[in-house]
Amino acid sequence: MAKEMEKLFKIITKETIKPCSPTPSHLKSYNLSFLDQLQPPVYINMVYFYPKNSHDVITTSQQLKKSLSKSFTCFYPIFERINSNNTTTIECNDEGAEYVEA
């Protein structure tokens, strides 16, 4: 799918957005609830399209990246990965999320 998207759009920038502050050590491992464990593993790939407007694109992009970085510290389990050795916990290792601008 990524190759197909690259054919449709010109990628301007691609980077990993990391949390603005590290996850505290006592929150590095997050145990999934019983209901979370029953859900099949699903990767959600999200793409947002916005119309071009008169706002400065660079400023808007920087604001979006800064907001994403700040949101990691409030919702740390959402942006992390399931532990490869143990599917009942999430490793909060501050790897961040891929940000692509096209």
8-59 residue pLDDT tens = 778 888 999 988 888 888 888 888 888 888 887 777 777 777 777 766 767 8
> Burial, 100: exposed, middle or buried (Cβ in 10 Å; 0-12, 13-18, 19+)?
middle
Question: What superfamily does domain 1-101 belong to in CATH?
Answer: Chloramphenicol acetyltransferase-like domain (3.30.559.10)
The domain ranges of the chain are 1-101
Residue pair 76/68 in contact by the 8 Å Cβ criterion: no
**Structure confidence at residue 42 (pLDDT):** 75
**Structure confidence at residue 54 (pLDDT):** 67
100: left (phi over 0), alpha (psi -120 to 50) or beta: beta
Residues contacting residue 99 through CB under 8 Å, at least 6 positions apart: 13, 14, 15, 16, 17, 65, 68
Residue pair 18/94 in contact by the 8 Å Cβ criterion: yes
**Structure confidence at residue 15 (pLDDT):** 92
15: which strand partners? 99
